A and B are shown apart, each in its own frame.
Chain A
Amino acid sequence: MSAPGERCPACGNLRPAGTGVSGLCPLCLLQIGLEHEQEGQAGWIDPETWECRVLNLLGAEGGETSFLAEQGAPVKRLVVLRQVHVPIASPDDRALVTARLRALTSFDHPHVARVIGGLISNERGLLLVMAYAPGTPLETYCGRTHPAEQDRLSLLLAVAEAIGRAHDRGLVHGALTSSRVVVTRRAGVAHAVVTGLGVEMMRQRPPDPSADARALVELCGTAGVKMPSGRLRSAREIADWLRAYPLPSRRSTPTDIAGT
């Protein structure tokens, strides 16, 4: 840990002298409190304390419209509102939606844009409120920056592991495309974030996890990593395959690529 009075490497602010807090930057610690606000009960956002204004239309795919919005309270930040057409009129419908919302909002992964909660708009029905993940779509990022093979593998592995983790929790993306994986930079390192998890989940019939596995294989292809067709049937298998991928430094040892 560095001494008080120095600049924090993360936020660049001068640390207040005489700080305790284990030598950590108190300003960064406070910032964490603003990132992790507590949401409503059982996945529903409390409409009494929630305010937002829509900034612009992000897109309309398959009848689902999404907006970029600025949330004003209880915390100020950008969010994505995704309109989901599901029945919510009857108590049974509402219970089903609530159960799925609860599962989605409790899923917290560094490589997945979080579902913050559900909201019922008088105008638009059910809206999923999701964390806004700014960044460049994976395919565009690879096309523009030509990252090294190891870096591409690292991004893809993070995505495959995140999807695998979601499947372990019974969550399925169902609409994974290269535009729904964005690359941003965190602490100077490229960081992949899967967006849109939850939209398909909210439909009456949750999609099959194998659709995510097929989408992952395609995603790897668009990022320039060719996978053996038809052999990898789950996100976990794809993650394992990516982990064991023969990098240039290892290609001279054929045993490393056994099983690929």
Chain B
Amino acid sequence: MTDRNQEASRDWAGMPRQFATTRWSVVLAAGDADTPGSREALARLCEIYWYPLYAFARRWGHTADEAQDLTQEFFARLLEKHYLGDVKPERGRFRSFLLASLKHFLLNERDRVLAQKRGGGHMPIPLEFETAEGRYRLEPRDPSTPETVFERRWALTLLDRVLSQLRHEYDESKRGPLFQALQGLLTGQADTPRYAELGALLGMTEGAVKIAAHRLRRRFGELLRQEIADTVADPADVDDEIRYLFKVLSA
């Protein structure tokens, strides 16, 4: 402990460690077994992260209609457990799994899927395709690979979802206007009024605004970590995943 160059100290005596599960770890633990908990967990994850897959299929070269059909069929098969048996439970990420599975699916199944009559299949989860193409048209027209588009869109979808959750929490507790006023402080927006000005606007002291902003950031951080934890097999991987997404968005 006292040696400056000593490697990571591991002499900490134990307080019992809590076993933690994540949505993705529930799915992985179930494997091929079709348990209600694992099916729900997977469906919930797919419902949140479908758009990056749609964007990937579009960038891969499919038309909007084809991308809709392929995404829909991919999820139908995924939820029927056609793919999960192949997943290695150790340290898997839902993001990596989805991308690898979709690529495999597009390479091997697309002709058969596209030959089927469109709209004839059962839609396993509600996907808002009406808005998807509008969103896709806003994607930058840079020479990004489909993989880059997928990962960037994944990161932004995740952040969007966390912001929505946070906004919802504030709305639920009748603090919607506070969220609206303070959200710019999450990232230090240039055009956000200073604490004192916000205080005058909200009828709060400057100190109270600082604390409210601090709590908003803290809650955002907690929700972000929870959301990411649901997509990794081990909660200890959350920091690595954040750093990876940081790299994706910085590229």
Bin chain B's interface residue count.
35 or more
Taking the nearest CB of chain A, how far is it from the CB of B185, in angstroms?
Answer: 10
Stretch at the interface among B38-46, B84-92, B209-217: B209-217
Give A3 Cβ to nearest chain B Cβ, in Å.
11
A124 touching B214, Cβ below 8 Å: no
Chain A residues with CB under 8 A of B218: 36, 108
Contact A20 B18 (CB under 8 A): no
* Interchain CB contact under 8 A, B184 and A1: yes
Within the complex, the shortest CB–CB distance from A48 to chain B, in Å, comes to 5
For residue A26, which residues in chain B have a CB less than 8 angstroms away from its CB?
155-156, 159, 249
Chain A residues within an 8 Å CB radius of B239: 34, 37, 73-76
Residues B1 and A123 in contact, CB atoms below 8 Å apart:
yes
Interchain CB contact under 8 A, B190 and A20:
no
Name B's interface SS. Answer: helix
Q: How far is the CA of A47 from the CA of B9 in the complex (A)?
A: 10
What mask results when residues 193 to 232 of chain B are scored 1 for a CB within 8 Å of chain A, else 0?
A: 0000000000000010011011101101110110010000
B11 at the interface (CB under 8 A from A): yes
Q: Is A54 among interface residues, defined by CB-CB distance under 8 A?
A: yes
Interface string of B1-33 (1 = CB under 8 A from A): 111111111111111011000000000000000
The answer to whether A110 touches B211 (Cβ under 8 A) is: yes
> In the docked arrangement, what's the CA distance between A37 and B238, Å?
9
Q: Are B187 and A24 in contact (CB under 8 A)?
A: yes
Which among A9-17, A133-141, A174-182, A208-216 touches the partner chain? A9-17
User: Cα distance A238–B224 when bound, in Å?
Assistant: 38
- Given contacts A38-B222, A52-B8, A53-B9, A33 and B188 within 8 Å (CB-CB): no
Q: With A and B bound together, what is the CA distance between A82 and B58 in angstroms?
A: 55
A30 and B242 within 8 A (CB): yes
Task: Kindly provide the distance from the CB of B124 to the nearest chain A CB, expressed in whole angstroms.
Answer: 25
Interface residues on A, range: 35 or more
CA distance A1 to B163 in the complex (A): 15
State A28–B250 Cα separation when bound (angstroms).
Answer: 11
B160 CB within 8 Å of chain A = yes
Complex formed: what's the CA distance from A28 to B162 in Å? Answer: 14
Contacts of B12 in A (CB 8 A): 45, 47, 50, 119-122
Could you write out 20 A-B pairs with CB less than 8 Å apart? Answer: A17-B140, A18-B138, A21-B160, A24-B163, A29-B163, A29-B187, A30-B224, A34-B242, A36-B224, A38-B222, A45-B15, A47-B13, A49-B236, A50-B12, A109-B211, A110-B214, A122-B11, A123-B1, A158-B207, A187-B188
Top 4 A-B pairs ranked by shortest CB distance? Answer: A36-B221, A10-B188, A47-B12, A28-B187
Query: B residues touching A (Cβ–Cβ < 8 Å)?
Result: 1-15, 17-18, 138-140, 142, 152, 155-156, 159-160, 162-163, 183-184, 186-191, 207, 210-211, 213-215, 217-218, 220-222, 224-225, 228, 236, 238-239, 242-243, 245-246, 249-250
